[in-house]
Structure 1
Amino acid sequence: MPTRSREFTWSDPSLTANAVPHHTGLDFLREMLAGHLPPPPITATLGFTLEEAEYGRAVFALIPGEEHYNPIGSVHGGVYATLLDSAAGCAVQSVLPQGMGYTSLDLTLKFLRPVTVNTGKVRATGTVLNSGRRTALAQAELRDSEDRLLAHATSSCMLFPVAGG
Structure 2
Amino acid sequence: MGRSRTYAWEDPAVTAAAAGRTSGLEFLHEMLAGRLPAPPVTATLGLALSEVERGRVVFSLVPGEEHYNPIGSVHGGVYATLLDSAAGCAVHSTLPEGMAYTSLDLTVKFLRPVTLDTGEVRAVGTVLSSGRRTALAQAELLDGADRLLAHATSTCVLFPTSAS
Q: TM-score range by the shorter chain?
A: over 0.9
CA distance in structure 1 between the aligned counterparts of 2:93 and 2:20, rounded to whole angstroms: 13
Partner of 1:32: 31
1:21, CA displacement in angstroms?
1.9
Give the alignment of 1:123-138 within 5 angstroms. Answer: 123-138=122-137
CA distance in structure 1 between the aligned counterparts of 2:130 and 2:15, rounded to whole angstroms: 24
CA distance in structure 2 between the aligned counterparts of 1:23 and 1:9, rounded to whole angstroms: 27
What is the total number of aligned residue pairs between the two structures? Answer: 164
CA distance in structure 1 between the aligned counterparts of 2:81 and 2:163, rounded to whole angstroms: 28
Partner of 2:79: 80
Within the alignment, does 1:55 sit opposite 2:63 as a pair? no
- SS of 1:14's equivalent in the other structure is helix
Question: Structure 2: any 5+ residue segments left out of the alignment?
Answer: none
Within the alignment, does 1:139 sit opposite 2:145 as a pair? no
Partner of 1:104: 103
Instruction: State the Cα RMSD in Å.
Output: 0.4
Q: Which amino acid aligns with 1:95?
A: T
TM-score by length of 1: 0.99
1:164, CA displacement in angstroms?
1.4
CA distance in structure 2 between the aligned counterparts of 1:119 and 1:23, rounded to whole angstroms: 37
Q: Percent identity?
A: 72
Deviating runs (4+, > 4 A) in structure 1? Answer: none
CA distance in structure 1 between the aligned counterparts of 2:102 and 2:27, rounded to whole angstroms: 16
Question: Structure 1: any 5+ residue segments left out of the alignment?
Answer: none
CA distance in structure 2 between the aligned counterparts of 1:51 and 1:62, rounded to whole angstroms: 10
